[in-house]
Amino acid sequence: AAMAVADDAPGHAGVAELQPPIEVESVWGCSDDTTPRGTTAGCIEGDSITIRGRYFGRSGARVLLVPERNGFPSALASESVECHGTRHSTLLPTLLLYCVLPANPKLSPGNDWDGATLPPASTYHVRVAARNGLTAVRRGAVSFASEASEGGDGADGASKDGAGSGKRSTDAALRLLDPSRWSELGIGGLGPQFKDLFRRAFGTRLGLVAPVVEKAGMRHVKGVIFHGLPGTGKTLVARKVAEALGSKNVRVVNGPEIMSKFVGDSERNLRELFADADEAWEKLGPKSPLYVIVIDEMDAIMRSRGTSRSDDSAARAVYDGVTTQMLAYMDGMKTGDNLLIIGLTNRLDALDPALLRPGRFEVQIRFPLPDRDGRRQILGIHTRRLQENAFLAPDVTIDGLVDATAAFSGADLAATVRSATSYAMARVYEASSAAPPPEAGADVAAAADADATAKFRVTQADFRRGMREVLAAKTASSNTEPY
Ligand SMILES: Nc1ncnc2c1ncn2[C@@H]1O[C@H](COP(=O)(O)OP(=O)(O)O)[C@@H](O)[C@H]1O
Ligand SMILES: [Mg+2]
């Protein structure tokens, strides 16, 4: 997604002459291209951003992300990230700077991290500073819209009132049923999982079957758990479901975030999480639109009570308190008809078993590692742009990759494609002996663009190296992670 430069305020004047000022031209919020436009902020949770511009310096740069609140950048909530991996753009005479973002609750839209209730940030400013503190600092403030931004891009701009979005939820959910739309969402495999999810959690909520549901006295499912190995697409699916239902009625929070927000006042804050749905139910009753709360990394807060490994008894009390509170809420849920809670975890066994009983998180969907078909689809999704631009060398076959990637998760496959692509890019910029002149005019830029495009090919050998790199990283991390 392309973003506009919002402002280019000078930084520390005086030092600026020593070195050309850093320029920021654009920012991409997602490392893969499966996330549609306008959801940049959604994917900065634990993902990465790419910044295009000039004069970052070879060794990287420090980047400050500043959420905008009420129209002003809120420096207090800013987050500093060390960015490495400066590369020449293969397409323009500029540099690309890659930043891996920490999984940090401060970056989430709508976070009231400092205790105050703030509106969701709709814009983030990205400020790049040279890495060694002595050099000039020039700020390029780039804003990009988050999912929560007001107005939208016309798709559903007007429907802010309850009735309208209620209709939209149903329609959108119906559209999700269509298998062709499913792959369009950028999710490979997981067809059976999605069908289960739909049948158990959404099917009874369709307007179409409402009379049957009522006559049969059916109750809607209140809670669903997605569980499975890391990287199998749980967060991805939750994010896509949230997108389809409309961001106004969906809140995505994660366990560690709730934990840090709720220490000291967990009960009030957990109630705050349900407040929108409660209020809509009070006002609209059964006409209320569907609200969804997604709790990612749920095991971080709702682990088995009394068995927490933490020695800190205060922390243990908070974990236990949050779990108890959630159970009480679900059992007494007066909003059961308009609220669905989706919990995500890599470790079903770590959750308090009481949460999984009927009437609570009654539906548990396991996300498996992708089989051959799944891998084929996932690789197809993550190489789509490469294929469309004829950037794949003729010796690359998706089937060959499918054969070679048994036991890879979706995240591993996506990482393999990124790694392979980076090897191919390295060939392009290493081949160009001199970097394009920094003040290149449009013609030169266009020529460099065409040249780089012509040279850029991802080969079978790149994919082999990519797989090796991903496997090495997997092995390294499995030595330190408990699962
Ligand atoms: N089934 C899938 N289809 C397409 N991409 C996937 C799939 N599973 C994982 N990925 C890729 O891996 C990334 C990480 O997956 P994620 O949903 O965060 O895994 P989990 O939450 O299960 O640990 C996704 O953003 C996506 O790029
Ligand atoms: Mg996840």
What is the per-residue pLDDT for 461?
A: 95
Query: Distance from the CA of 26 to the center of ligand 2, in angstroms?
Result: 27
| More confident of the two residues 88 and 9 | 88
> Are residues 337 and 210 both part of a single domain?
yes
Statement to judge: residues 182 and 224 lie in one domain:
yes
- Per the domain annotation, does 203 fall within a domain? yes
Q: Is the CB of 43 under 6 A from ligand 1?
A: no
Is the model more confident about 162 or about 444? 444
Q: Letter for the amino acid at 393?
A: A
> What spacing in Å lies between the alpha carbon of 61 and ligand 2's midpoint?
28
Q: State which H helix or E strand residue 7 sits in.
A: strand 4-7
Q: Is 455 exposed, middle or buried (0-12, 13-18, 19+ CB in 10 A)?
A: middle
Q: Whose CA is nearest to atom 16 of ligand 1?
A: 233
Whole-number Å distance, alpha carbon 67 to ligand 2 midpoint, is: 23
**Residue ending a domain, choose from 334, 367, 400:** 367
Question: So what's the pLDDT on residue 403?
Answer: 94
Closest by Cα among 324, 364, 370, 325 to 347: 364
Domain boundary among 92, 111, 145: 145
DSSP structural state of residue 448: H
Query: Are 435 and 354 contained in the same domain?
Result: no
Backbone phi and psi for residue 123, each to the nearest 5 degrees, phi listed first = -140, 140
Which ligand 1 atom lies nearest to the CA of residue 43?
A: 25
Of ligand 1's listed atoms, the one at least distance from the Cα of 47 is 25
Do 420 and 442 sit in the same domain of this protein? yes
Among 168-177, 182-191, 222-231, 430-439, name the most confident range: 222-231
User: Does residue 210 sit in the same domain as residue 348?
Assistant: yes
User: Residue 424 is encoded by which pair of tokens?
Assistant: 């191919």
Q: Provide the pLDDT for residue 388.
A: 84
Q: Whose CA is nearest to atom 11 of ligand 1?
A: 411
Domain that holds residue 32: 4-145
Q: How much is the pLDDT for 172?
A: 54
Higher per-residue pLDDT: 55 or 423: 423
pLDDT in tens, 429-467: 777 654 555 555 556 666 666 676 777 899 999 999 999
Contact 299, 347 (CB under 8 A): yes
Assigned domain for 153 exists:
no
What's the pLDDT band for 268 if we cut at 50, 70, 90? low
* pLDDT (0 to 100) of residue 58: 73
- Both 292 and 436 in one domain: the answer is no
Chain centroid to Cα 140, Å, comes to: 24
Rounded CA-CA distance 131/51 in Å is: 15
Residues 23 and 128 in one domain: yes
**Ligand 1 neighbour 189 (Cβ under 6 A):** yes
At 195, the amino acid letter reads K
N-term to C-term CA, the chain: 35
The verdict on the CB of residue 339 being under 6 Å from ligand 1 is no
Element housing 319 (H / E)? helix 313-331
- pLDDT class for 141, splitting at 50, 70, 90? very low
7 vs 475 pLDDT, higher one: 475
**Most confidently predicted of 134-143, 192-201, 431-440:** 192-201
Q: State in Å: Cα 223 to ligand 1 middle.
A: 22
In this structure, the dihedral spanned by the alpha carbons of residues 243, 246, 251 and 254, taken in order and rounded to 10 degrees, is 0
Q: pLDDT category, 367, cuts 50, 70, 90?
A: very high
Predicted confidence at residue 243, as pLDDT, reads 73
The beta strands (E) that lie in 37-140 are given as 48-54, 61-69, 72-73, 79-88, 95-100, 123-130
Percent of all residues in the chain with a pLDDT value above 70, rounded to a whole number: 58
Q: Whose CA is nearest to atom 10 of ligand 1?
A: 410
CA-nearest residue for atom 18, ligand 1, is 235
Instruction: Looking at mean pLDDT, say which of 75-89, 273-287, 311-325, 353-367 comes out highest.
Output: 353-367
pLDDT at 273 over 90: no
Over 70: is that where the pLDDT of 211 sits?
Answer: yes
Share the mean pLDDT of the chain.
Answer: 71
Place 402 in a pLDDT band, splitting at 50, 70 and 90: very high
Asked if pLDDT for residue 280 goes beyond 50, the answer is yes
Average pLDDT over residues 209-217: 76
Helix (H) or strand (E) holding 291: strand 291-296
Number of domains in the chain: 3
**Percent above pLDDT 90 for the chain:** 21
Instruction: Please tell me what DSSP assigns to residue 154.
Output: S
What is the number of H-type helices and E-type strands within the chain? 15, 14
Residue, of 382 and 204, whose pLDDT is higher: 382
Q: Give the list of residues 6+ apart from residue 435 with CB closer than 8 angstroms, or none.
A: 88, 93
Of 111, 145, 179, which residue sits at a domain end?
A: 145
Specify which of 169-178, 269-278, 407-416 reaches the highest per-range mean pLDDT: 407-416
**32 touches ligand 1 (CB under 6 Å):** yes
- Closest residue (by CA) to atom 1 of ligand 1? 188
Residue-level pLDDT at 382: 93
Greatest mean pLDDT among 39-48, 113-122, 229-238, 264-273 lies in 229-238
Expressed in percent and rounded to 5, the helix, strand and coil fractions of the chain are: 45, 20, 40
Please report where in the chains the tokens 């078909």 appear, as a residue. 373
Q: Is the CB of 67 under 6 A from ligand 1?
A: no
CB 343 less than 6 A from any atom of ligand 1 = no
Per the domain annotation, does 150 fall within a domain?
A: no
Q: In what order do the strands lie in the sheet with 291-296?
A: 250-254, 291-296, 339-345, 223-228, 363-367
Residue 233 beta carbon below 6 angstroms from any ligand 1 atom? yes
Domain of 264, CATH number, reads: 3.40.50.300
- Residue of 197, 227, 236 with the most ligand 1 atoms within 8 Å of its CB, for mutation: 236
| Cα dihedral 203, 207, 208, 213 sign | positive
What SS3 state is found at 367? Answer: strand
Cβ atoms < 10 Å from Cβ of 74: 15
CA geometry: angle at 351 spanning 346 and 357, to 5°? 120
Please compute the mean of the pLDDT values over residues 111-130 and round it to a whole number.
Answer: 55
pLDDT above 60: residue 483: no
Are 356 and 225 within 8 A, CB to CB? yes
CATH code for the domain of 136: 2.60.40.10
- Of 168 and 228, more confident: 228
Q: Has residue 269 been placed in a domain?
A: yes
CA torsion sign for 178, 183, 186, 191 is: positive
> Which tokens hold the place of 15?
């030092």
Average pLDDT of 38-50? Answer: 49
Q: Give me 343's structure tokens.
A: 């919990």
Same domain for 362 and 439, yes or no, is no
Closest-approaching ligand to the CA atom of 47 = 1
pLDDT score recorded for residue 157: 32
Q: Is the CB of 42 under 6 A from ligand 1?
A: no
CA of 314 to the centre of ligand 1 (A): 34
